[in-house]
Structure 1
């Protein structure tokens, strides 16, 4: 007797987690660059400290991990009651990814110190292409005509924004500084385009079940090692000694210096948790697409808060990004419906097989 496979019972939960992580990623992806740029606009100059803030808020993740632990202890009293479930091989892999993330943090902060928020288009334009390429090589990502169209439109949309970024060059910045920021930003985009599929590959190769609680542990370990990497840089650069003086000279005042720093650390945690959460629920490609489609939102927020100019190309980029985003999800909806129809065609044949037994 052949048994027809029913849909997995946790499909609804997986979709709910995907929506939640998309929201978390949106908050981090839009808020993180704006707060980082705010730090540099008002007199902040410590690149290593700004890098450190991107992952320095990792202790926050201990709270949801503890909540997950208490939930398991109540609902599964007979199971092995551990706070952390990460096995050594997975821990080592995540530690390496975390170190790479620390390097990426520095490259990104170096670029943001010299480029306006508008120039983040250069990051997104290349990052999505790198993510798609590495996803194909590392995790054998399957592309449909809709996903290819989405990557193309989002890349073109971000590239349109890059056409006139020179007009937004900060005052009193030399050509050499601008070019160095440009190159470091591109290096950061390439590296993070590699990190996202590498996280997905780690999920697939892990010799243990990957739950969302374990995803949070992965987030914690990644940010811990990234923070250690940036802490070494801060020690070498004597940033810890300079921070109190920089706070006193900060354009918005000493108190707001620390407020900006604390909130920056919190918001960046949303970005990293959202990014790897979307990978867990869907794929690294979707994570890269969401990061790309949020670019125009960040641009508009930069116009509102930092009085950057809203040129025509920003409107064009917004339209192309929304088009690309819609293309991707239209393709996903069609694929889901196709699978559902295929499942429904198998269902009626089940009783006939049962009757013949």
Structure 2
């Protein structure tokens, strides 16, 4: 049973494919759900990854592997959705239920995105291994500018005064945080290692700023109906190939042989070592699922904005859990980020209100014209 889709337009001028016969309330619920998933992954992912490195872990390929290794969870969800569609199909006398929606053309495109994602995972994991959470988080915040740039090139993203204001405020917020990075080098780490971590984290921000619009472009060029079930399939395939890419790196680096010894020597104990591994995979899966879900419901720009606005939250959590200092710059960045976030959604609110007023005006004009025609 293939779902039909319609498209909705945002203030940024992009179209987001949505399933037909879905109420506005259901669409908003889906968007909110994906925003929650993205928030959990975006804030929890860096913290739990840093926890691994702080307490004795040092396998970068393993950490990058865990960022997408939770993809089997999506398989379980897809199986549940399949049986749900099958039951609904029997009741509605519909055609044979399709288990897999993804066509070969889309599969190969998503697999390519998955390989790029795997490489980006490695770049990011290396940065987290060498930098404090506060520093790596502020660097990743620059990803918003790259997302906006690549969105303009790939999907012809249109900007309003409100979206431009949001990008500027969030980028300035990240710049303010950069004022305190001089004393952030961890103890026992060489300047060369610190600089290498800084450079690779910047590269990770640039690459993921490219990946988000690339996923949106994939949706637009898929030449098939994009339903949320298909979005889950895209997530699964993308994470599968990213995991395979990182697994190859683990094999070359002999990570699989080292894991048992590293677990025994882990500061928090062997059991907690494996618990951290499992939760890391689950939390990062929330991030990726939330990111592509927001793209499906809205746009890659909104996904990038949510990631950026959560930067101060990650900073605060790093202060709470890892006793990192909370300078005045972080407070300023928090205010700027919230301001930018509010600016974006105020623009969305004004656009939706204007569209609703235009629709009502058009309907009234048609009704008046029809009444005049009937009187004649």
> Does TM, scored on the shorter chain, surpass 0.5?
yes
Matched, 1:24 2:24: no
Aligned to 2:311: 295
- Map of 2:241 onto structure 1: 225
Mapped to 2, the partners of 1:259 and 1:341 lie a distance apart of 53
- Aligned with 1:188: secondary structure? helix
TM-score using structure 1 length: 0.96
CA offsets 1:297-321 (integer angstroms, 9 cap, x no match) = 0000000001111111111110000
| Structure 2: unaligned runs, 5 residues or longer | 1-7, 9-19
Q: Distance in 2 between matches of 1:247 and 1:60?
A: 24
Deviation at 1:67, TM superposition (A): 1.6
1:280 aligns with 2:296: yes
Q: Secondary structure at the match of 1:289?
A: helix
**Structure 1 residue 351: deviation in Å?**
2.2
**C-alpha distance in 2, partners of 1:79/1:221?**
26
**1:331 offset after TM fit, Å?**
0.6
Question: Which of 354, 358, 370 is equivalent to 1:342?
Answer: 358
Deviation at 1:101, TM superposition (A): 0.2
1:82-97 matched pairs, under 5 angstroms: 82-97=98-113
Aligned residue runs from structure 1 range 161-310, under 5 A: 161-310=177-326
Q: Does 1:123 align with 2:139?
A: yes
Does the 8 A contact of 2:140 with 2:201 survive in 1? no
How much has 1:353 moved relative to structure 2?
Answer: 3.4
Quick check: 2:141–2:307 contact (8 Å CA) kept in 1?
no
CA shift for structure 1 position 240: 0.1
1:350 deviation in Å?
Answer: 2.1
TM-score normalised by length of structure 2: 0.91
Once residues 162 and 346 of structure 1 are traced to their aligned partners in structure 2, the CA distance between those partners, rounded to angstroms, is: 50
Which region of structure 1 is more displaced relative to structure 2, 185-194 or 57-66? 57-66
Structure 1, gaps ≥5 residues long = 1-6
| Alpha carbons 2:138, 2:311 under 8 Å: kept | no
Aligned to 1:37: 50
How far did residue 9 of structure 1 move? 4.9
Report the aligned-residue RMSD: 1.2
For residues 55-96 of structure 1, give each alpha carbon's deviation from its aligned partner in whole angstroms, at most 9, with x where no partner exists: 011101112111211111111232332221100000000000
- Tell me the distance in 2 between the aligned counterparts of 1:333 and 1:302: 33
Contact 1:128/1:151 (8 A) holds in 2 = yes
Separation in 2, partners of 1:54, 1:204: 26
